[in-house]
Amino acid sequence: MVEVSYGPKGLDLLRDGKTSQEALKLLLEADDGRDLRQVAIVDADGNIAVHTGNRCIAEAGHQTGNSFSAQANMMLNDSVWPAMAAAYEKTQGVLADRLIAALQAAQESGGDIRGKQSAALMISENIRDDKPWTHMRTNLRVDDHPEPIIELQRLLDIQLAYDLMNEGNDLLSKDLSESARIKYQQAAQLAPDIEELPFWQAVTLADTGKIDQALPIFERVFSINKNWALLVQRLPASGLLTDDPKVMRKILSVNIEKGVN
């Protein structure tokens, strides 16, 4: 029985200087449906406040740890939230990896009594300014899927692959070719079926004067989807590729040779 306003109102209370415990107390006092709610707040100092109402559908509960809270309701059994907490604590890696591990542990422990349907992951940098949207690192959701956690992991891998590609482009623009190559390789390993990743790699190579390295990549991408050959011709007008007719002819020559034109 979700009350969405707990999120923005809770953040406003924290910004006003309230601790997590003070903020949660005020939210609950103002809510006639508090016995149906489950909510946790962790403030900037790591203080945790958590509430599982006595009318939440069993099995429902929560477990806290160092600057985190794991909570669940309508679970198959009461081992779910302890499993989430344990997985989060023992998993190494970035925050996204630890959160996915907690979700996977929850499912393996029984999960929702109704079965599997949805999953979401939201991560923001701990930077406060007047452009909060620029600090959103991950904002993914799977609303309806037979294997939502697996699909969420796939989407996360795609996002990471594009991040790696962008890092590779930046390195290549600084003439750090080997470091860029490693980033591109890592991106391809995470999302091998996405042809757009090598396309932009080839564009960056061509734009930085490495046309001979770019041509085999263009050839492979054009053979998969001829529309990439059309798109590459539109890039110079947007300043995304050198406006050099000789370079463009070389790029399109691999398309013609393969009979994709």
**pTM for this model (two decimals):** 0.88
> CA 22 to CA 20: how far, in whole Å?
6
Residue 181 counted as domain residue = no
pLDDT at 257: 54
Position 258 confidence tier, pLDDT thresholds 50, 70, 90? low
Q: Where is pLDDT greater, at 213 or 255? A: 213
| Structural domain total, the chain | 2
Q: Would residue 201 count as lying in a domain?
A: yes
DSSP symbol at 112: B
pLDDT of residue 52: 98
How far is residue 254's CA from residue 249's CA, in Å, rounded to a whole number?
9
Last residue of a domain, one of 41, 56, 71: 56
pLDDT in tens, 4-14: 999 999 999 99
What is residue 21's predicted lDDT score, i.e. its pLDDT?
97
pLDDT in tens, 234-244: 999 999 999 99
203-230, pLDDT tens digit by residue? 999 999 999 999 999 999 999 999 999 9
Per residue in 21-78, pLDDT (tens digit) is 999 999 999 999 999 999 999 999 999 999 999 999 999 999 999 999 999 999 999 9
Average pLDDT over residues 90-104: 97
Short-list 230, 225, 235, CA closest to 198? 225
Task: Report if residue 100 sits inside a domain.
Answer: no
Q: Dihedral sign, CA of 225, 230, 233, 235?
A: negative
Strand partners, 50: 40
**Looking at the domain assignment, is residue 97 inside a domain?**
no
Give the DSSP per-residue string, 220-257. HHHHH-THHHHHHHHTGGGTSS---HHHHHHHHHHHHH
Q: Which of 31, 56, 81 is the last residue of a domain?
A: 56
What local confidence, expressed as pLDDT, does residue 261 receive?
46
C-alpha pair distances (Å), 201 with each of 5, 21, 152: 43, 49, 25
The C-alpha atoms of residue 175 and residue 200 are separated, in whole angstroms, by 16
Residue that is last in its domain, among 56, 72, 99: 56
Q: Grade residue 256 by pLDDT with cuts at 50, 70 and 90.
A: low
Task: Report the C-alpha gap between 180 and 188 in whole angstroms.
Answer: 12
Residue 216 inside a domain? The answer is yes
Residue 236, domain member (yes or no): yes
In a domain, 41, yes or no: yes
Looking at per-residue confidence, does 261 or 106 come out higher? 106
The per-residue pLDDT for 198 is 94
At residue 162, the pLDDT reads 95
The per-residue pLDDT for range 152-210, each reduced to its tens digit, is 999 999 999 999 999 999 998 898 989 998 999 999 999 999 999 999 999 999 999 99
Under 8 Å between Cβ of 229 and 255: yes
What range defines the domain where residue 26 resides? 1-56
The answer to whether residue 116 is domain-embedded is no
Q: Beta-carbon neighbour count of residue 136 at 10 Å?
A: 11
